[in-house]
Amino acid sequence: MNIDSSEKIVAPAFLVEADSYKKGYKKVIRFLDKTALVKYDYIEFNPDLSYSASNQNFWRIVGNGLENNKQNVIGLINELQKNGYSQLIDLAKMKQGYESKTLHILVHLLDGFIGIDSSLYNLIEDSHQISDSLRHKIKQTPNNYWLLQVNAKNMWSFL
């Protein structure tokens, strides 16, 4: 990888429905080309850290990604609480600025919009989570689902 080490590198994993790595790769590229929410200056797929659901590492990586996403949400909530927003009614006094932007990012993450801090992004459901019904489908037909790991240099994010 020929990236200046001082630049921020992110490593999101993308969950896709595909029967091969190559088809999953194409879905992720298509998504990244189309989305206006986040753009990367540089992206490199990491096939050694990409797995079909039939691989024993799949659910471990999924679990780590979901936990990282959850920790991002908790961090934003903690930031809001630190600034005096501990109950929903407190939002009524919020003015535009740092706190409103923090809330905006938090709501986007909860609503499923990809952001620069997304650790795991579920392209199937446009989500940072995985529904119970999708988990069931993945377990029933593991060869039809892939988790593709990328390394990317962040250019900008709408969030």
Q: Render each residue's pLDDT in the chain as its tens digit; 159 residues.
A: 444 444 567 788 999 999 999 999 999 999 988 887 777 777 889 888 899 999 999 999 999 999 999 999 999 999 999 999 999 999 999 999 999 999 998 998 898 888 777 899 999 999 999 999 999 999 999 999 999 999 887 655 544
Reading the block at residue 89, the tokens are: 């009614």
Domain definitions of the chain by residue range = 9-157
SS3 at position 9: strand
Q: State the pLDDT at residue 130.
A: 97
Q: State the pLDDT at residue 61.
A: 95
Which pTM value belongs to this model? 0.85
d(CA 25, CA 16): 9
Instruction: Evaluate whether 100 touches 94 at the Cβ level (below 8 Å).
Output: yes
Q: State the pLDDT at residue 141.
A: 97
Q: State the pLDDT at residue 32.
A: 87
CA angle 106, 108, 114 (to 5 degrees): 115
